[in-house]
Amino acid sequence: MNDLSERKIIQGIARQATRRPADLVKGIGDDCAVVRKGHGLVELWTMDTLVEGVHFDLSWHPPRLLGRKAANVNISDIGAMGGRPRFALLSLGLPRACAAQLIDPFLAGFQEALGEYEVALVGGDTVSAGERLLLSVTVCGEMREDQVCYRSAAAAGDQVWVSGCLGNAACGLELCRRGVAGQGEYAALLHAHLDPHPQVGLGALLAESGLIHAMMDISDGLATDLAHICAESGVGAEVMAGAVPLADELLQAANLLGLAPLPLALQGGEDYQLVFTAPVENNESLQTLCLQAGMKIFCVGRIVAGNRVMLRQDTGWRDITFGGYEHRF
Amino acid sequence: MNDLSERKIIQGIARQATRRPADLVKGIGDDCAVVRKGHGLVELWTMDTLVEGVHFDLSWHPPRLLGRKAANVNISDIGAMGGRPRFALLSLGLPRACAAQLIDPFLAGFQEALGEYEVALVGGDTVSAGERLLLSVTVCGEMREDQVCYRSAAAAGDQVWVSGCLGNAACGLELCRRGVAGQGEYAALLHAHLDPHPQVGLGALLAESGLIHAMMDISDGLATDLAHICAESGVGAEVMAGAVPLADELLQAANLLGLAPLPLALQGGEDYQLVFTAPVENNESLQTLCLQAGMKIFCVGRIVAGNRVMLRQDTGWRDITFGGYEHRF
């Protein structure tokens, strides 16, 4: 079963999903499905499942923050296409020995995160689930059809941008795993893992600006998520190792942990920063726009002809295509 | 934790879900959430999770039929409000030791069921899931806003109808559990458990007719699901034991298994028949309508003032309010 990767399963599902109603703008293969709603608007749909012991560990994840994260990782998918999240459904699978004192703060955190983006919880279900807590969330968003930013819109010559430091979440997870979570100097890293912040505002700003081409959120690491953009767009990409934004805390913590920071940034998942591409001629407008909104963005490379994601280091080029976190079964 | 029932958790969630956008017609508390879409139309949203060992057993559930069931139990929720299912999202949680030969027939069955109702699979995700196969499905439907049949629309004096024989699925499950599944004479019971048929056509027919008040599907047994209608409508109900439709196969199999058939029919879940209420004066029109459509419906009781569901047997009255299958944790 070790060749049964998430990507292959999804490709198999997508091949079978041949039904194409006229109002379905985009089915499987992007951060969200896109369905035409009328009046120039579309709906965006996304669904993510988090499984205890696979995606989170209750021994260090406070239930309230877990609730926030379950909401925010889905909200991030809406933001990654430039949309505004509106409605959520929650399916809660409770293990046999689930503590009542876990559910209340979890739900409070979930609602708190929804509230920050004015998302209404409208349904779902609650089931028994054996050994592990299961969190399945569906979020529906909305936006103008002509502003949707797809993975497939990258063009050779575009520059590749990210919305913030990478690797923080992966390093925060490692700190938690090794039990060095209590150190205040790494608060930003722990926060990135425990309570990630979806880039909804920036996503909408970029989508409305018309200055960018492709966009998605970084949930599986830049190496993999940029490879998704390349695969969908029929292009390749070059990433400059020295341009990948790394937080000072990451450098310090990686040193403490004996880990190289760059692999954390390229292969570590769950940063929920945005990666997007834009024509070179929009550079100045893009930077001005983000600066005025108080947001910093970082150019990390460019889109080229081909189909690989290549990393440029001092020592030469390295192929990192789909080299991020890959779910295997 | 034995007092932590599904109903209480959902009530807790519903209390917290105070956000009410103007286009949200109905949030938590019915088969589907209802969101206004414009042009007199609404969207219906539902989400259900099935967990291996809790909701299905792979030792007797063929993967293709499980795929069909995962789709159909959600499609049933759309039908239970009178809607037409349109789009689906599937979140697949695969256990460590998941056989590749399970996934393909599962997905084929899932797509097959979607295809029968012209539903398009538009998204979802695939994750690792520890010990158990997890199936989380979201389905979105559509219908005219003025035709939506809510749980809350029952009125004292209404008659209570069901769309078919009850208890078959519970009895089929019991046959599978005890390993007497191979007997051809119980095919209808096994089918009811393994491959339930959602009453989408009848649901839409009833909703469009304007002849009925409240409606929902019977997933947790008539005693519980009729109690949901009563609770939402602020009424009580009386069920005539002798009027509950029982299949001949159920009577025979129950006898073989040493079980009383009526409890299977009232408390057994997963029949996915419809229960609905209608004013007495619509009796004839209702029966004519269904007869012409080749569908049989059965009057099993009536709506009364109060807040209990009472069962009338030869021996007297018995309170069966929420006496069906209740998910406890």
Whether residue A26 sits in one domain with residue A121: yes
**Structure tokens belonging to residue B137:** 């499905």
Helix axes B200-209, B63-79, angle to 10 degrees: 10
Query: A204 — phi, psi (to 5°)?
Result: -70, -40
A324 in a structural domain = no
Domain boundary among B131, B147, B163: B147
Minimum distance, in Å, between the CA of residue B172 and any CA atom of chain A: 21
Question: Rounded to 10 degrees, what is the CA torsion of A174, A178, A184, A187?
Answer: 20
A88 in a structural domain = yes
A142 in a structural domain = yes
Domain boundary among B90, B118, B147: B147
**Structure tokens belonging to residue B122:** 């538009």
B325 in a structural domain = no
Instruction: Say what the pLDDT of residue B229 is.
Output: 97
CATH number at residue B178: 3.90.650.10
Whether residue A85 sits in one domain with residue A26: yes
Is A98–B46 a contact, with Cβ atoms under 8 angstroms apart?
no
A-B contacts (CB, under 8 Å): 249
Q: Tell me the C-alpha distance between B167 and A44, whole Å.
A: 39
Query: B183 — phi, psi (to 5°)?
Result: -80, 115
CB contacts, 8 Å: A111 with chain B = 16-17
Instruction: Say what the pLDDT of residue B14 is.
Output: 74
Judge whether A53 is closer than 8 Å to chain B, CB to CB: yes
Instruction: Say what the pLDDT of residue B3 is.
Output: 47
> How many Cα atoms are found within 13 Å in the side-chain-facing hemisphere of A25?
22
CB contacts, 8 Å: B92 with chain A = 9
Judge whether B38 is closer than 8 Å to chain A, CB to CB: yes
Whether residue B215 sits in one domain with residue B267: yes
Question: Longest C-alpha distance within chain B, in Å?
Answer: 58
DSSP type of residue A243: G
B324 in a structural domain = no
Judge whether B53 is closer than 8 Å to chain A, CB to CB: yes
Judge whether A4 is closer than 8 Å to chain B, CB to CB: yes
Whether residue B64 sits in one domain with residue B24: yes
Q: Which residue of A has its CA nearest to B122?
A: A27
Is B16–A107 a contact, with Cβ atoms under 8 angstroms apart?
yes
Among A23, A58, A48, smallest CA distance to A137 is for A48
Whether residue B218 sits in one domain with residue B105: no
Whether residue B176 sits in one domain with residue B52: no
Report residue A185 CA to chain centroid gap.
25
Whether residue A167 sits in one domain with residue A310: yes
Minimum distance, in Å, between the CA of residue A91 and any CA atom of chain B: 7
Minimum distance, in Å, between the CA of residue A87 and any CA atom of chain B: 9
Is B91–A128 a contact, with Cβ atoms under 8 angstroms apart?
no
Mutation for A interface: B32, B134, B217, B270, most A CBs within 10 A: B134
Residue the block writes with tokens 């139309």: B41
Is A121–B13 a contact, with Cβ atoms under 8 angstroms apart?
yes
Q: Are A298 and A243 in contact (CB under 8 A)?
A: yes
Is A134–B131 a contact, with Cβ atoms under 8 angstroms apart?
no
B329 in a structural domain = no
Whether residue B175 sits in one domain with residue B82: no
Interface of B with A in 116-135 (CB under 8 A): 118-132, 134
Q: Which residue of B has its CA nearest to A42?
A: B37
Number of Cβ within a 10 Å radius of residue A184: 6
Mutation for B interface: A11, A46, A127, A140, most B CBs within 10 A: A127
Whether residue A136 sits in one domain with residue A80: yes
Q: Tell me the C-alpha distance between A172 and A169, whole Å.
A: 5
- Nearest residue, CB atoms, B49 vs list A86, A93, A97: A93
Whether residue A176 sits in one domain with residue A305: yes
- Nearest residue, CB atoms, B19 vs list A1, A49, A115: A115
Q: Are B42 and B34 in contact (CB under 8 A)?
A: yes
String of DSSP letters for B194-236: HS----HHHHHHHHHHT----EEE-SS-HHHHHHHHHHHHT-E
Span A266-324, pLDDT tens digits: 998 899 999 999 999 999 999 999 999 999 999 999 999 999 999 999 999 999 999 86
**Structure tokens belonging to residue A60:** 């260090």
- Please report, as a single letter, which amino acid is at residue A97: A
Q: Are A238 and A301 in contact (CB under 8 A)?
A: yes
Q: Are B135 and B232 in contact (CB under 8 A)?
A: no
Domain boundary among A101, A122, A146: A146
Is A48–B125 a contact, with Cβ atoms under 8 angstroms apart?
yes
Mutation for B interface: A18, A119, A136, most B CBs within 10 A: A136
ipTM above 0.90, yes or no: yes
Is A120–B24 a contact, with Cβ atoms under 8 angstroms apart?
yes
**Which residues does chain A have with pLDDT short of 70?**
1-4, 16-18, 181-183, 324-329
CATH number at residue A60: 3.30.1330.10
Q: Tell me the C-alpha distance between A200 and B20, whole Å.
A: 21
Q: How many domains does chain B have?
A: 2
Span A180-210, pLDDT tens digits: 866 688 999 999 999 999 999 999 999 999 9
Judge whether A38 is closer than 8 Å to chain B, CB to CB: yes
Instruction: Say what the pLDDT of residue A287 is.
Output: 95
Question: Rounded to 10 degrees, what is the CA torsion of B219, B224, B225, B226?
Answer: 150
Quote the domain boundaries for residue A221. 151-319
CB contacts, 8 Å: A87 with chain B = 21, 24, 33, 35, 45
Is B121–A93 a contact, with Cβ atoms under 8 angstroms apart?
no
**Structure tokens belonging to residue A156:** 């050779």
A282 in a structural domain = yes
B265 in a structural domain = yes
Q: pLDDT tens digits for chain B (329 residues)?
A: 344 577 777 777 777 666 789 999 999 989 999 999 989 999 999 999 999 999 999 999 999 999 999 999 999 999 999 999 999 999 999 998 777 789 999 999 999 999 999 999 999 999 999 899 999 999 999 999 999 999 999 999 999 999 999 999 999 999 999 988 666 889 999 999 999 999 999 999 999 999 999 999 999 999 999 999 999 999 999 999 999 999 999 999 999 999 999 999 999 889 999 999 999 999 999 999 999 999 999 999 999 999 999 999 999 999 999 986 655 44
Minimum distance, in Å, between the CA of residue A144 and any CA atom of chain B: 15
Instruction: Say what the pLDDT of residue B299 is.
Output: 98
Judge whether A136 is closer than 8 Å to chain B, CB to CB: yes
Whether residue A46 sits in one domain with residue A162: no
Instruction: Say what the pLDDT of residue B149 is.
Output: 98
Residue the block writes with tokens 């051809």: B184
Minimum distance, in Å, between the CA of residue B135 and any CA atom of chain A: 10
DSSP type of residue A328: B
Judge whether A32 is closer than 8 Å to chain B, CB to CB: yes
Whether residue A119 sits in one domain with residue A259: no
